[in-house]
């Protein structure tokens, strides 16, 4: 993890949250940065990103949706036609453009965005990054009927998630300012923890 990053502890998500949410100075400081969420596919980045954007009255962008708007087809179809390497190049272009925007935004990245060093550099230089750490076993249960994520359309999605976690977890931690563990929690609980972590960080 980057310097001065830390992991939120369990059981403290309610303390001081209402006071911080009403602190106009904290929100002014907050909007000096993009907020980027990283994590495995199915870790809740889009759901939690929408919650945070609403809470802080900031725009929200799902990078995968932005990519599909850019390429004019689904990511699954693009993967099938062009392959993963070409997709990663497009992902890099779209992410860089989003992070270059002057209006500060909550950004839900794709699960593999951290694979390219250029993306990690962009994230580190232009955003506060939150790693939504989640158990591959829980994600596999959550996504058992998913048909849209190309890398999980395999005979054993759990094994694929375990393999992805082994490769990507160190990269998520490398780029993260905050790590929020979500295993056993609802999306709302995880979102509250993320909000508290970032809001407290504005006062540190």
Q: Which domains does the chain have, with CATH numbers?
A: 34-146+153-202 (3.40.50.300)
pLDDT of residue 115: 96
Q: What is the 3-state secondary structure (H, E, C) of 122-151?
A: HHHHHEEEEEEECCHHHHHHHCCCCCCCHH
- Do 124 and 38 form a contact (C-beta atoms < 8 A)? no
Residue bearing the bigger pLDDT, 6 or 156:
156
State the burial class of residue 202 (Cβ atoms within 10 Å of its Cβ: 0-12, 13-18, 19+).
middle
The response to whether 44 counts as a known ligand-binding position is: yes
The response to whether 45 counts as a known ligand-binding position is: yes
Q: What angle do CA 115, 116, 122 make, to 5 degrees?
A: 115
Q: Tell me the residue length of the chain.
A: 204
pLDDT of residue 156: 81
The response to whether 182 counts as a known ligand-binding position is: no
pLDDT-derived band at 186, boundaries 50, 70, 90: confident
Q: Answer yes or no: is pLDDT of 5 > 50.
A: no
Instruction: Give the tens place of pLDDT for each residue, 148-169.
Output: 666 567 668 889 899 999 999 9
Q: What is the pTM of this model?
A: 0.83
**Distance (Å, whole) CA 10 – CA 185:** 10
The response to whether 116 counts as a known ligand-binding position is: no
Instruction: Give the tens place of pLDDT for each residue, 74-102.
Output: 998 998 899 999 999 999 999 999 999 99
Residue bearing the bigger pLDDT, 93 or 143:
93
């Amino acid at each position: 993890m980057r310097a001065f990053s830390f992991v939120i502890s369990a059981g403290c998500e309610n303390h001081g949250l209402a006071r911080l949410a009403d602190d106009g100075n904290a929100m002014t400081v907050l909007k000096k940065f993009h907020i980027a969420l990283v994590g495995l596919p199915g870790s809740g980045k889009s759901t939690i990103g929408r919650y945070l954007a609403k809470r802080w009255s900031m725009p929200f962008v799902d990078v995968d949706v932005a990519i599909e708007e850019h390429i004019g087809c689904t990511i699954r179809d693009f993967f099938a036609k062009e392959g993963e390497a070409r997709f990663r190049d497009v992902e890099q272009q779209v992410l860089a453009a989003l992070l270059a925007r002057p209006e500060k935004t909550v950004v839900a990245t794709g699960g593999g965005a951290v694979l390219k060093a250029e993306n990690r550099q962009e994230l580190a230089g232009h955003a506060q990054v939150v790693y939504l750490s989640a158990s591959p076993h829980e994600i596999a249960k959550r996504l058992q009927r998913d048909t849209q994520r190309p890398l999980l359309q395999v005979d054993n999605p759990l094994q694929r998630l375990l393999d992805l976690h082994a490769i990507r977890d160190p990269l998520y931690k490398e780029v993260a300012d905050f790590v929020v563990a979500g295993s056993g929690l609802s999306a709302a609980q995880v979102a509250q923890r993320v909000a508290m972590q970032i809001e407290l960080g504005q006062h540190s």
